[in-house]
Structure 1
Amino acid sequence: MVNGILNIYKEKGYTSHDVVARLRRIVGQKKIGHTGTLDPDAEGVLPVCLGRATKVCGMLTDKDKTYETVLLLGRITDTQDITGETIEERDVSSVAEEAVISCIREFIGEYDQIPPMYSALKVNGKKLYELAREGKTVERKSRRVKIYDIRIKEVSLPHIRMEVDCSKGTYIRTLCSDIGEKLGCGGCMERLLRTKVERFALEDSRKLSEVERAVQDGRLCEILTPMDGMFSDLPKITVKKQYAALAYNGNPLSGKQVIAGEIRQPGEQATAGEAMQSGKQTASGGKADCTDGQVRVYDEEGRFIGIYRSSGRDRFRPVKMFLDPEELH
């Protein structure tokens, strides 16, 4: 079984489920999962997890993301993007470029966003887009999202091209709609390109055709990110050989049963013990992450066992296990 993460470039016209179905045929295994949906007309980075790496799907879904989008002012649609039915068109000739830029910048920070009806969120067990297709509109609770930054790339009214860094759960088409509403002229999303999910970047992504060629040439491992690559910002410890069976089966470990490794952070190095004493780990890119006391655990053969957390009492307790003991026999 192939284990690892592929940085897929999702092309226009594919759903995230389509990508998974294609990869199952290409790779020849069923255990594959994606890390969050992209609309069929959206393009860009879609990390896909294979084999035991499917255990990190939820972790990647929760990560911050970066998008490049084009906002079209003056058009309001039922889906908040260009693919929907036009509800209203408004004149934007009186909208000034300075007012647009100022308005967009006001959305940087936290704000309460109401999820669109055309989304996969469920209400009473039914997806919102299914209700929308039946002509139904239901009340949705707003959700607090965070816009870390918006970089305006080009203004050619009524079009604005911008790059958005945001938290999980942010709908870019809703952001576009909200900007248009605040300007008083309405707006919708014309294009969406996801350029980054955690450490997976657009420039390193692969189209399905490229993956297929890699499989045919026996080079799949060259484009596959190993599971422990997702946690390279965490300190590494190695369980001593005589205690490896404890770790394989997800048992707690004591400090005497492990060998401390090193943590690598930008501009500094520290032993795992020092890092855990300070309690200051940072995720790649310099943003604080919930790595609080977490470590990568390996056996002396170099096999990645899982993620443990230090309890502060010279003890380590399992958080997520990635090694299947049955595969050792």
Structure 2
Amino acid sequence: MITKPVNGVVNILKPPGMTSHDVVNVLRRIYKTKKVGHTGTLDPAAVGVLPICVGRATKIAQYIAGADKSYRAEITLGVVTDTQDSEGKVLSTTDASFIKEEHFKEVLKDFVGNIKQIPPMASAVKIKGKKLYQLHRMGQVVEREPRNVKIHQLNIIWSQGWGTAHPKALCEVHCSKGTYIRTLCHDIGEKLGVGAHMSFLLRTSVAQFSIDNSITMEELEEGDHQKVIIAIDDVLKDYPVVTLREQAVKSVISGASLYPPGVLKKPKDLAGGQLVRLKHDDELLALAKTQIDEHDARKRFVFKPVCIIKID
């Protein structure tokens, strides 16, 4: 039973068959609030980490969604689908029995680092106000601009079927936001000359949220709903703290910038454009960005709130 407003993040282990919005709807019912949002969609067929923001934590969703992510993805060679995953219609099949594991591993190296991806048609990217998956359902294919993403790590951890028509490989991927793993699988197949699709996907982490400390939907329904909430301050713990003087609190939570006279304590090694937590009496007030005050002869920092956490 929820007896007071809840503000924080729940680290959900999304099951297959549910959309990210389905999960949001369940948490809206459990926590009795409409202020619930996910931090980046996970395809219905995929499973894994899906941080869900509740209450005032919805304000920080973008800062979680923008973090690096890790996956385990199974690639099936020699089969191309129109969605680049196993949910789509098969477009072509090729005998990939001549591909050796050693060759596959070598090709993976070409996809580590900064790469370009063309978003798949079956995606939520908008072009001229229409989501690509809506156009895809209508049988349309439109031109898409390549996007820059970064693959930090790409390793094979299991494989089978080398020497057969459609070998499979399970890969571990650590990547930047905006990376389409099914497109990565598709492009690896293109590079090998046999085509491929993503036949399974497990997201193992989003920022600090790991599959090791995630909870299932069943555990959420049956357990203590309050205890599984991760406080906003804990979610943002990697951002340095700037402590305010009492007289600056009211102006900061109204959205005004924090100037040096209102600062009680701050780290010595701050940089321009850096995000920091603004706190008073150990209470989180806002997330702010550091800016150099050009009107200050000493070029000291001011802190511009980008996300107000405390509501007066």
Q: Tell me if TM exceeds 0.5.
A: yes
Q: Does 1:73 align with 2:73?
A: no
Q: 1:266: which partner in 2?
A: none
Q: 2:105: which partner in 1?
A: 101
3-state DSSP of counterpart to 1:131: helix
2:67 aligned residue (23, 45, 63): 63
3-state DSSP of counterpart to 2:83: coil
Q: Does 1:227 align with 2:232?
A: yes
Aligned residue pair count: 296
Which sits farther off after the overlay, 161-170 or 307-316?
307-316
3-state DSSP of counterpart to 2:268: helix
Deviation at 1:237, TM superposition (A): 2.6
Q: Does 1:111 align with 2:120?
A: no
CA contact (8 A) 2:154 2:174 kept: yes
Q: 1:241: which partner in 2?
A: 246
The one-letter code matched in structure 2 to 1:100 is F
Which sits farther off after the overlay, 1-10 or 223-232?
223-232
Alpha-carbon spacing, 1:308–1:133, altered in 2? closer, same or farther (3 Å): closer
1:319 aligned residue (299, 302, 306): 306
Q: Does 1:209 align with 2:243?
A: no
2:277 aligned residue (276, 296, 299): 296
Gapped regions of structure 2 (runs ≥ 5): 162-166, 293-299
CA contact (8 A) 1:239 1:247 kept: no
The one-letter code matched in structure 2 to 1:115 is P
In structure 2, distance between residues paired with 1:240 and 1:310: 17
Deviation at 1:229, TM superposition (A): 1.7
The one-letter code matched in structure 1 to 2:249 is A
Q: 1:283: which partner in 2?
A: none
Which sits farther off after the overlay, 150-159 or 39-48?
150-159
1:10 aligned residue (2, 10, 14): 14
Give me the CA root mean square deviation. Answer: 1.6
Q: Percent identity?
A: 42
Q: Does 1:196 align with 2:205?
A: yes
Which sits farther off after the overlay, 308-317 or 90-99?
308-317
Alpha-carbon spacing, 1:163–1:299, altered in 2? closer, same or farther (3 Å): same
User: Counting helix residues as a fraction of each chain, which structure ranks higher?
Assistant: 1
CA contact (8 A) 1:299 1:305 kept: yes
CA contact (8 A) 2:108 2:155 kept: no
Which sits farther off after the overlay, 313-322 or 61-70?
313-322
Q: 2:164: which partner in 1?
A: none
3-state DSSP of counterpart to 2:37: strand
3-state DSSP of counterpart to 1:20: helix
In structure 2, distance between residues paired with 1:185 and 1:20: 39
Deviation at 1:314, TM superposition (A): 4.8
The one-letter code matched in structure 1 to 2:225 is L
CA contact (8 A) 1:154 1:160 kept: yes
TM-score by length of structure 2 reads 0.90
